[in-house]
Amino acid sequence: MATLSTLQQADIQHFIHPFTDSKTLGEKGTRIIERAEGVYLWDIEGRKLLDGMAGLWCVNVGYGRQSIVDAVSKQMQQLPYYNSFFQCTHPPAIELAKTIAELAPAHMNCVFFTGSGSESNDTNLRMVRRYWDLKGQPTKKTIISRDNAYHGSTVAGASLGGMSGMHKQGDLPIPGIVHIAQPYWYGEGGDLTPEAFGLQAAQALEAKILELGEENVAAFIAEPFQGAGGVIIPPSTYWPEIKRILAKYDVLLILDEVISGFGRTGCWFAAEYFDLKPDLISIAKGMTSGYVPMGGVIIADRIAEVIKNQCGEFTHGYTYSGHPVAAAAALENIRIIVQEKLVEKVATETAPYFQSRLQQLAEHPLVGEVRGIGLVAAIELVKDKSLRQRFNSDIGVGTWCRDLCIEHGLVMRSVGDTMIISPPLTISLAQVDELIEKAIKALNDTY
C-alpha cells in the first residue's frame, strides 16, 4: 500500500468529496493537483498531465491567464461585492449582461445571473412556471426531461436530470418533472438506423405531451448533446423533429448549454450548431472558464417581456447573482475568446483536426464507436465491437482505462465504459497529436 502524504491523510479525514466513493480513497489517496498552465496540470508529486477534460468541461481559455487574474484583482480592489437585488446593481454585471446578449441568438436579449449551472436550472424551473402563470395558463407546470440527462446537483437540478443513481439518493425527482428516453443510438438503438432511432426518440416527447395533456406541459429541457451522460450526440433527425413537436404544442425549450456554451462546438452556442430557437439557455462553466464560479440563464424576448412587464417582483435570486468579481472574470474570459478568435479556430482548424485524429482510435479492437462534435468526444469501450457487446460493468474497464491514461500523462474521464474528452479550446494541433498518442498507449495497456 502506498504511503499517503500528510495532505492526503488530512483530505481523507476532513473533506467529503462530490461524486466520490470515499472508501476508494483509502489506498491511493486523492490525486492532488497543485498548479496548471495552458492545457497542462501538475500534481503534487510533480507529474505533468495533459488535461483532456478542461477541468470539468470548463477551462475553455486554458490555465494561467494573467489577464483574468488582473481583471479579478482590479475588481476586488474596486468593489469586491455588491448585490443586484432591490433596485441595485454594479457596472460589471450590466456590462456582462449586454455582452452575453450580443453573443446569444438574436431573439435572446436578457440574462439572469446565478452562481452555477445547477442554480441556472433551478431558475429555469421557476421562470417557466411563472411565465405560464402570467400568460393565464397556470396548469402548464410539468417539465419533460430525458433519462441520463445531467442538469446539476441541487434538488431541482438533480430532478431535472435523469441520472437514476442521483434519483435514488434523496427521493428524487420532485413532483412535476418527468423523463423520456434519451437519443442514445449506440447504446439503445438496436437494429434501427441512427436516423430512424432519432425520430423514434424525438417522438417519445410527443407521446409524453399527449399522455400528460399539452395544457399541463410547461417545457422540455435538454442538453444539445448529453455531456456527463457520455457525450451522447442525437442522430441528425432528432432535433428537427423535437422542434416540430415543441411548436405544435406550445411547449418551451430550455437548452442546457452549461457544457456546450462559449465555443465548445465551434459556435458560441450549440443552439446555432443545431439550428435551435430556445426560450431559455442555461450557462455556466465556460462563461468564466472556471476561474471564478458563475452561471446564468439567457432569456428569449417573449419570456423576458412577460417577466419584466407583468410579473411584479420575481421572487428569485442568489446573493451572488451577477457577482462583480465573477462578472469581471467572465468579461475578460469572453474578451480572450473574441480576441484569439477561439470559436472560429475551433470550427475551422482544431475541431476538424481533433475529430479526424480521433477516428484513428476507432480502429482499436477495444473501441466500439468514436463520436464527437467540435472539441468534445466519446470513445465507447466494448468487449466485442462487431456485436456492440459491452463488458460486465463490475469489471470497471472505463475506470481502468482512465487510470492508465494518467500513467501516460493524460486526463480523460470515464462514464461507465465510455471515455470522454473535452480539452481546453486553446489546445494546439501538436497537443492534439500528443493527446491521441497518449490515449492509444492507454488503450493498448487496457486491452
Does 117 bind ligand PLP (CB under 6 A)? Our answer is yes
Q: Which neighbouring-strand residues pair with 253?
A: 220
Separation in Å, CA 315 to CA 118, 219, 318: 18, 20, 10
Q: β-strands 217-222, 410-411: how paired?
A: unpaired
Does 374 bind ligand PLP (CB under 6 A)? Our answer is no
Binding track, positions 39-58, relative to ligand PLP; x by CB under 6 A: -----------------x--
Distance of CA 255 to the CA centre of its chain: 11
Does 151 bind ligand PLP (CB under 6 A)? Our answer is yes
**Shortest CB 256 distance to ligand PLP, Å:** 4
- Pair 410, 52: CB distance under 8 Å: yes
Cβ closer to ligand PLP: 116 or 333? 116
Name residue, grid cell 436578457: 110
Taken as a whole, the chain contains a residue count of 447
Q: Which stretches of 213-323 are DSSP H helices?
A: 238-249, 270-273, 301-310
Does 122 bind ligand PLP (CB under 6 A)? Our answer is no
**Shortest CB 121 distance to ligand PLP, Å:** 6
**Piece of 82-90, 149-157, 169-177, 421-429 that binds ligand PLP (CB under 6 A):** 149-157
183-186-190-196 Cα dihedral, nearest 10 degrees = 50
Cβ closer to ligand PLP: 146 or 371? 146
Residue 161 has which C-alpha cell?
436530470
Distance, in Å, from the CA atom of 371 to the CA atom of 352, rounded to the nearest integer, reads 13
Cβ closer to ligand PLP: 96 or 367? 96
Positions 267 through 306 that interact with ligand PLP (CB under 6 A)? 284, 295
Cα–Cα nearest to 92, from 78, 106, 103, 105: 78
Cα–Cα nearest to 361, from 386, 380, 346: 380
Strand ranges across the sheet with 177-180: 108-114, 295-300, 280-283, 252-256, 217-222, 142-146, 177-180
Q: β-strands 40-43, 33-37: how paired?
A: antiparallel
**Piece of 113-121, 365-373, 374-382, 384-392 that binds ligand PLP (CB under 6 A):** 113-121
**Piece of 114-122, 126-134, 242-250, 398-406 that binds ligand PLP (CB under 6 A):** 114-122
Does 228 bind ligand PLP (CB under 6 A)? Our answer is yes
**Piece of 21-29, 150-158, 324-332, 402-410 that binds ligand PLP (CB under 6 A):** 150-158
Cβ closer to ligand PLP: 160 or 366? 160
Among 116, 142, 237, 333, contact with ligand PLP (rule: CB under 6 A):
116
Positions 236 through 265 that interact with ligand PLP (CB under 6 A)? 256, 258-259
Does 234 bind ligand PLP (CB under 6 A)? Our answer is no
Cβ closer to ligand PLP: 219 or 382? 219
Name residue, grid cell 497518449: 438
- Give the type of residue at 37: E
Does 142 bind ligand PLP (CB under 6 A)? Our answer is no
Distance, in Å, from the CA atom of 334 to the CA atom of 317, rounded to the nearest integer, reads 24
What is the dihedral sign for C-alpha 144, 420, 104, 183? negative
Cβ closer to ligand PLP: 411 or 443? 411
Among 227, 235, 296, 374, contact with ligand PLP (rule: CB under 6 A):
227
Residue 419 has which C-alpha cell?
471515455
Residues near ligand PLP, by CB under 6 A: 56, 116-118, 121, 150-152, 223, 227-228, 256, 258-259, 284, 295
